[in-house]
């Protein structure tokens, strides 16, 4: 199981060749390939779970952390969820060929902006093997070829999943080469992949901040990255307390290891005295480590809740754990300044019953997703109706927020004339 740089380049050339035909592939063929994949995920369950079990045992022996082990683990339910996501992609409209706008110019030229695939998508990801199926499904439906490079801890699982998807594609008539998996985890291959700008049109890194930073710095081709979310919820003076408790608690505790989870609660001084003790007691019971500024600490201590004084670095940190920073602010202005300084442009929320405060927050906060009276954990392609997602962009260029099918496309201008020349 060793892949040389030459073989990687051959995989790249194969993906590029396939991509030339993928853009004209009928929706029927693409959906048939996806249906075959969904069915095989169920029918070949034993084979996939055996590969995953082998990965898991080896990863555990090598001392992988519990949270990483949990992420890489597949079981029948998780596999069914992956298959359900593939069926969701089948149900989505085909983005390729969509006429974004069209009109007839005064000189009679008929001009249209038509959606087309990007070409070849590269993805570099860690641990979660479902990404192999998620990204390859979205890429196929949007007419793109993919080159996948998953983490070494799940290599057997990824090989089994890619093989199954590739067979389903082949049976449906998808051009060979559309789905490339780098079946080796040598780091030199990632370095090579980052240089292949003539082969890969868009690179998507999914994983920890270090991986994303490395890819963004080194890649020769465009990268859409995100995933790192320092997410705030601001409890405004006029907040409904019950809504505030429920939303803040959900934003932190529903799942802690995902990028849209709450990191910092900002509480308006006017409501801190009634809001914080209730939140503090709940979080204390739930084992949330609360890193408080002086004002929050005083209120919570007076209410008998044990907290930790916040270090300056706690603000602006993505915890991905049962930890939250808490700060008392004097006003919406101060909350907006805090977001401007510490936010990562991912997901931010305000809890308020004040119309003007809500509208101002929506307008002025510069983030991919801005919420009023809702949990930041809603930031997700599935929740937004995009089907599964290839990632959540915190960039402003090309795509922002959850990236589904449309976000894997470009467009071209097509112009039908009758002999027009430009004066």
Binding site for a copy of itself (CB under 8 A): 20, 23-24, 103, 105, 109, 111, 116, 118-119, 201-202, 222, 240, 242-243, 246-247, 249-250, 254, 340, 358, 362-364, 366-375, 377-379, 383-385, 395-398, 400-401, 410-422
Shortest separation between residue 6's beta carbon and a copy of itself, angstroms: 23
Q: Is 244 left (phi over 0), alpha (psi -120 to 50) or beta?
A: alpha
- Closest to a copy of itself by CB, 28 vs 47, is 28
CA–CA distance, 202 with 385 (Å, rounded to integer):
23
Q: How far is the CB of 301 from a copy of itself (least distance, A)?
A: 28
**Strand partners for 41:** none
Q: In the complex with a copy of itself, which residue's Cβ is closer, 220 or 321?
A: 220
| Integer-rounded Cα radius of gyration of the chain | 24
Residue closer to a copy of itself by CB (options 325, 367) is: 367
162 or 215: CB nearest a copy of itself: 215
Side-chain-side CA neighbours of 352 within 13 Å: the count stands at 24
Q: How far is the CB of 240 from a copy of itself (least distance, A)?
A: 7
Q: Contacts by 163-168 with C-beta closer than 8 Å and gap 24+?
A: 164/37, 164/40, 164/41, 164/44, 164/48, 165/33, 165/37, 165/40, 165/132, 165/133, 165/136, 165/137, 167/36, 167/40, 168/33, 168/34, 168/35, 168/36, 168/37, 168/39, 168/40
d(CA 408, CA 269): 44
Q: Closest CB to a copy of itself among 302 and 362? A: 362
CB 268 within 8 A of CB 235: yes
At 289, give phi and psi (nearest 5°).
-80, 115
Q: Which is nearer to a copy of itself, 51 or 135 (CB)?
A: 135
Q: What angle do CA 254, 260, 263 make, to 5 degrees?
A: 80
Nearer to a copy of itself, 122 or 401 (CB): 401
Q: Where are the alpha helices (DSSP H) in 184-331?
A: 187-195, 209-218, 241-253, 269-286, 294-302
Q: How far is the CB of 308 from a copy of itself (least distance, A)?
A: 26
CB of 151 to a copy of itself, least distance (A): 26
CA distance 116 to 114: 6
Give backbone dihedrals phi and psi of 199, rounded to 5 degrees, phi first: -105, -40
C-beta of 52: minimal distance to a copy of itself in Å? 27
Nearer to a copy of itself, 55 or 263 (CB): 263
Closest distance of CB 212 from a copy of itself, Å:
15
Toward a copy of itself, which CB reaches closer, 45 or 360? 360
Tell me the closest approach of the beta carbon of residue 112 to a copy of itself, in angstroms.
Answer: 9
Give the Cα separation of 397 and 261 in Å (integer). 24
Residue 288 Cβ vs a copy of itself, minimum distance, rounded to whole Å: 16
Question: Both tokens of residue 246?
Answer: 């429920």
- Give the integer Cα–Cα distance in Å for 392 and 380: 7
* DSSP at 303: T
């Amino acid at each position: 199981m060793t892949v040389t740089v030459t073989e990687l380049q051959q995989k790249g050339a194969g993906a590029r060749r396939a991509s030339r035909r993928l853009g004209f592939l009928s929706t029927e063929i693409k959906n048939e390939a996806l249906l075959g994949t969904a069915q095989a995920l169920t029918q070949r369950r034993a084979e996939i779970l055996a590969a995953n079990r082998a990965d898991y045992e080896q990863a555990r022996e090598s001392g992988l952390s519990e949270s990483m082990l949990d992420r890489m683990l597949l079981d029948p339910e998780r596999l069914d969820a992956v298959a359900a996501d593939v069926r969701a992609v089948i149900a989505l409209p085909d983005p390729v060929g969509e006429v974004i706008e069209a009109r007839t110019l005064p000189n009679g030229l008929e001009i249209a902006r038509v959606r087309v695939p990007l070409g070849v998508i590269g993805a570099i990801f860690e641990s979660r093997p479902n990404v192999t199926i998620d990204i390859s499904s979205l890429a196929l439906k949007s007419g793109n070829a993919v080159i996948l490079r998953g983490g070494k801890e799940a290599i057997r699982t990824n090989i089994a999943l890619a093989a199954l998807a590739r067979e389903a594609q082949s049976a449906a008539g998808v051009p060979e080469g559309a789905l490339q998996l780098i079946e080796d985890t040598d780091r030199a291959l990632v370095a090579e992949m980052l240089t292949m700008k003539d082969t890969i049109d868009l690179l998507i890194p999914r994983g920890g901040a270090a991986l994303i930073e490395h890819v963004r710095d080194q890649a020769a081709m465009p990268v859409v990255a995100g995933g790192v979310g320092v997410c705030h919820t601001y409890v405004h003076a006029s907040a409904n307390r019950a809504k505030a408790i429920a939303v803040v608690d959900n934003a932190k505790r529903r799942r802690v290891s995902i990028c849209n989870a709450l990191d910092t609660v900002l509480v308006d001084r006017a409501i801190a005295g009634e809001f914080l003790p209730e939140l503090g007691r709940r979080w204390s019971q739930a084992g949330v480590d609360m890193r408080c500024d002086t004002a929050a600490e005083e209120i919570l201590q007076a209410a008998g809740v044990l907290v930790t004084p916040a270090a300056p670095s706690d603000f602006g940190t993505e915890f991905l754990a049962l930890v939250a920073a808490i700060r008392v602010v004097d006003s919406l202005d101060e909350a907006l300044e805090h977001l401007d300084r510490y936010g990562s442009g991912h997901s931010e929320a305000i809890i308020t019953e004040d119309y003007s405060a809500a509208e101002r927050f929506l307008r002025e906060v510069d983030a991919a997703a801005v919420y009023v009276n809702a949990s930041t954990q809603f930031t997700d392609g599935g929740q937004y109706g995009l089907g599964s997602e290839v990632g959540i962009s915190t960039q402003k260029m090309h795509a922002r927020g959850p990236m589904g099918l449309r976000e894997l496309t470009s467009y071209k201008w097509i112009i039908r004339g009758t002999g027009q020349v430009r004066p």
